[in-house]
Structure 1
Amino acid sequence: MLSIFQKKEFLIDHLSGITDIHNHILPGIDDGAANVNETIGLLEKFNNHGINKFIATPHVMNDYYPNTPDSINAALDTVKESLLSKSDLADSQISVGAEYMMDQSFLDLLEKGELLTLKDNLVLVEMSYFQAPINLNEILFTLQTKGYKPVLAHPERYAYFHNKDLRKYEDLKSRGCHFQVNALSLSSHYGTSMQQIAYKLIEQGMIDFIGSDTHRIQHIEKLSSIQLKKKQLLAISKIVEKTKETF
């Protein structure tokens, strides 16, 4: 029988030392941090939990967030300049990638060779929450013929892929997709169906990496409240370790 005094396991405690490979901490260029003060607040909050390495991944989304390597690196420079006066954040390490919406504009960027990668040839990509691109297979094929490896952000959040046998996810994996789960999906933050699929993908060994997808400080606060059962912790620990090893 379990003791009522058994130690509770919180997800955030097992993320210490990880590189957060998906976040929106750069100021003023998408729907994440609005300004550099908010960025600093996010970094301080993360630092309290032993997370100080980041790959910032602002949205690149046609007319909504038409970011470029120049705009993204300019925002990074602003953050780095502000960090010079923050001795408590001296250990913070920030590089940049991007979170690319897979649409026609993305194919245009791909043809021009203007993609920012997470590391080496790993590219973070996403889809609309309403429907998958009609040419999704073509996009994935083109990415890989160009030498890139797609990392699909938050696969658990695409409700049109939800089914009992995970067939649609298996098809994506067979096409060379890596999967990155959102840490917040391990709570009911996005809804219980997203939470259930997240755990199902984890249990089936289909998740490769974990990231926070943090946009605002409330997201980090909510991360702090996520408790894990022993079985869940064992599976998620493997994903955390793979993320650490890769990045």
Structure 2
Amino acid sequence: MFSLFSKKTQKKGEAFPFAALATDMHSHILPGIDDGSPDLETSLQLISGLQDLGYKKLVATPHILWDMFRNTPDIIHEKLDLLREAALKAGLTIELDAAAEYFLDEHTNELLAKKERLLTISGNKVLFEFSMAYPPFNVKDTLFEMQMQGYEPVFVHPERYSYLQKNKEFYDEMKEIGCIFQLNILSLGGHYGRGVTELSNHLLKKDYYDLLGTDLHHSNHLAALQQFHTGLFPADYNFSTRFRNNQL
């Protein structure tokens, strides 16, 4: 089995080239609206850390999961304006933007049925996730409706769905219908467990990933990113051309 932890690559490589990616398109840095940053001070610390890593642009993507996080475009944009103002006062030069991470639930289906404008990255890309506890129901119907309305679905952290270990054909189906795949960077370092790392390896081998995201929620994630290195990828991996982050 293909493994990024083979003898050839398990040694520590160079510092990860975050600057080559330029944009982090998945993070939870808006203060106090989901399970990410709890307050403005923490948000500024996280942003400062990501800027120090080399990122030039951050797209905050708070959860829209109606049973837990009832975020709306107005709420998200209000928090974005607050964070931009605070970042400017703090002397941070990084560009800040916002979209959302949509949970495929009844609320999202209602938004699509009403043709409500969804929050997107890079024009028309919509980040989506579903339950990590059980397989999704009618996910293809929802994604088809997104596409009919002109959106390009982005399947975030597909490697984190452990039940797909026994149903890897699902990934093939998601690719066939046109989904973009986004890898959580820390999935490769064992942060979410061995099974997640194995699925990351599987999807990397199939060349399915298009985007890399931090999925940053808190300072522990930032500390892990600061220790991340290129030794977890195959040798001579060209990050700036392999992933599309710097086109966002």
TM-score (norm: length of structure 1): 0.89
Secondary structure in structure 2 of the residue aligned to 1:229: helix
| Shift in alpha-carbon separation, 1:35–1:240, aligned structure 2, 3 A | farther
Alignment-derived partner of residue 137 in structure 2: 134
* d(CA) in 2 for partners of 1:149, 1:227: 30
Secondary structure in structure 1 of the residue aligned to 2:89: coil
Structure 2 gap segments, 5+ residues each = 1-6
- 1:122-164 alpha-carbon deviations (Å, 9 max, x no partner): 100011101232111111111111111100110000112124x
Residues 185 and 195, structure 1, Cα contact 8 Å, conserved in 2: yes
Which of the residues 92, 95, 110 maps onto 1:93?
95
Alignment-derived partner of residue 25 in structure 1: 29
Structure 1 gap segments, 5+ residues each = none
The share of aligned pairs that are identical, in percent, is 35
| Shift in alpha-carbon separation, 1:239–1:33, aligned structure 2, 3 A | farther
Shift of 1:242: 2.0
Alignment-derived partner of residue 122 in structure 1: 125
TM-score (norm: length of structure 2): 0.89
Q: Are 1:9 and 2:18 counterparts?
A: no
- What value does the CA root-mean-square deviation take over the aligned residues? 2.0
Residues 210 and 243, structure 2, Cα contact 8 Å, conserved in 1: no
* d(CA) in 2 for partners of 1:54, 1:181: 16
| Shift in alpha-carbon separation, 1:154–1:108, aligned structure 2, 3 A | same
The 5-angstrom pairing of residues 22-101 of structure 1 reads 22-87=26-91, 89=92, 91-101=93-103
Q: Structure 1: which amino acid aligns with 2:136? A: P
Q: Structure 2: which amino acid aligns with 1:54? A: L
4+ runs of 1 displaced by more than 6 Å? none
Worse-matched range after superposition: 227-236 or 28-37: 227-236
Residues 209 and 243, structure 2, Cα contact 8 Å, conserved in 1: no
Secondary structure in structure 2 of the residue aligned to 1:123: strand
